[in-house]
Structure 1
């Protein structure tokens, strides 16, 4: 028996062609899943599918804005016509830097539309089909759901909502065989982090990278593959007794910082 096998299962991964999402898509495909990548960036989507195919996996790219309710519903319906949807990973999300006063109404709307409404759209689109034989949903929250982080007002708000949506779905669909959990990463080294450092600290990239790395008690940023390993476990049959739980993957940040 192969542990954590996803053979003959179909998975949807939003934001599945960059950073954590890309690592999840590749990990799931390597474990035998048919992966459907819902991604806004077409170049990244095509590249990720090509890399998965070259490695012997199965993946399909769907150009998608998760904040668009009708577009999400149409894509999910198209997938469901041919395959049972066993797994949904809501990974797509955006960040915002700013405290309450530094958060404009437009910032709040943008964060809400992607990070909250986008998660709602995808869960709402799959849940009816998933009730037929059960399934697994994993939502990407953040340590910002649990602890105060400076200048992350809107982002923290959105990830707190993701965590509570996770609990509600886990409770409401327990009898239908649907498990729903969330993952709360700390700082993970992704292209987004490199871009953020380069934009805000030109000429000091190495210094800031080291400083940000040391905010994790373990002394480094996490790797996307480490988050993907956790997502794989939660979506596998080996985690069949786990639902309604948030899993920090944070290098000790929540419990050991300060």
Structure 2
């Protein structure tokens, strides 16, 4: 792996991906809209900051040009976490869908034009199982998974692999801030809910996502194309049912 681009790479999962790829010896362009999110990358020659909107094709092209060739990996991670109700403001919903989908379109196009051969899109369990009140985000992520499969079919003959990771609940600064703002009782309820939703019984770690992304970009995944890999502790495999034997060990069932 020689050169990569990670959009939204300044914080959380994006930063973990950048750190993982840089640790493998890659030069990584980090496309970020917030300059403050890149304070940690100061004086690190292997990390190249690119400031701007990941949805802007010119900015995406600038990121592609910021690292040496060959460009071997591109990660579309940038996202907007904000919701709107369809019945209240359809235009706001459409805007939020676009703000999550357009960076992936611009990034994938820039990667293809630059000759990149491995692209990973960051999706969510919500692409398949919507969370109430998160219609724009769930819709955008479903579109991103469709784009992943279609791009894999269109560009596979050129030797380009396009895959995605569908994340469950991952511990980041954002989730830490959310939990810190809860009352003790609400925080305990949140922890119980995560344990019920994700069979491994905990939030995922950003570093665990980064490991899967690094694998998908590597030659070890050379025959993986058009795949949506759940990185969710088993959340997508589990069917919650009021008659299930929750709380009992398998030997007791």
State TM-score, norm by structure 2.
0.86
Provide the rounded CA distance (Å) in 2 between the counterparts of 1:120 and 1:232.
21
- The alignment of Structure 1 onto Structure 2 pairs a total of residues equal to 239
The residue aligned with 1:85 is: 71
Q: CA deviation at 1:84?
A: 2.3
CA drift at 1:70 = 2.7
Cα shift readout 1:147-197 (whole Å, capped 9, x = no counterpart): 232222111000001001101110011111100000001110111112334
CA deviations over 1:73-106 (Å, ceiling 9, x no partner): 3333x326x4221110001111234554366522
Between the aligned partners of 1:12 and 1:208, the Cα distance in structure 2 is 38
Partner Cα distance (2:124, 2:89) in 1:
19
Q: Take 2:95 and 2:55, find their aligned partners in 1: how far apart are those partners?
A: 11
2:42 aligned counterpart, secondary structure = helix
Could you say which residue in structure 2 is the equivalent of 1:226?
208
Of residues 226-235 and 96-105 in structure 1, the stretch that sits farther from structure 2 once superposed is 96-105
Choose which of 115, 119, 126 in structure 1 pairs with 2:104.
Answer: 119
Mapping for residues 215-254 of structure 1, pairs under 5 Å: 215-254=197-236
Q: Which structure has the bigger radius of gyration?
A: 2
Contact kept, 8 Å, 1:94 with 1:111, in 2: the verdict is no
**SS of residue paired to 2:170:** coil
> Cα RMSD (Å) of the superposition?
2.1
1:177 paired residue number = 159
- Counterpart CA distance in 1 for 2:50 and 2:186 is 34
Residue 36 of structure 2 aligns with which residue? Answer: 43
Residue 139 (1) aligns with residue 121 (2): yes
- Taking the aligned partners of 1:145 and 1:155, their CA distance within structure 2 comes to 8
Contact 1:46–1:61 (CA under 8 A) maintained in structure 2: no
The answer to whether 1:65 aligns with 2:61 is no
CA distance in 2, matches of 1:116, 1:254: 22
Determine if contact 2:97/2:139 at 8 Å carries over to the other structure. Answer: no
- d(CA) in 2 for partners of 1:231 and 1:74? 23
1:72 Cα deviation after fit:
2.2
Contact 2:7 2:78 in 1 (8 A): yes
Distance in 2 (alpha carbons) for counterparts of 1:173 and 1:155: 26
**How far off its partner does 1:22 sit?**
0.4
Cα distance in 1 between the residues matched to 2:92 and 2:199: 35
Q: Which residue of 1 aligns with 2:20?
A: 27
Q: Secondary structure at the match of 1:141?
A: strand
Match of 2:92 in 1: 106
Instruction: Could you tell me which runs of 5 or more consecutive residues in structure 2 were left unpaired when the two chains were aligned.
Output: 241-253
CA contact (8 A) 1:91 1:139 kept: yes
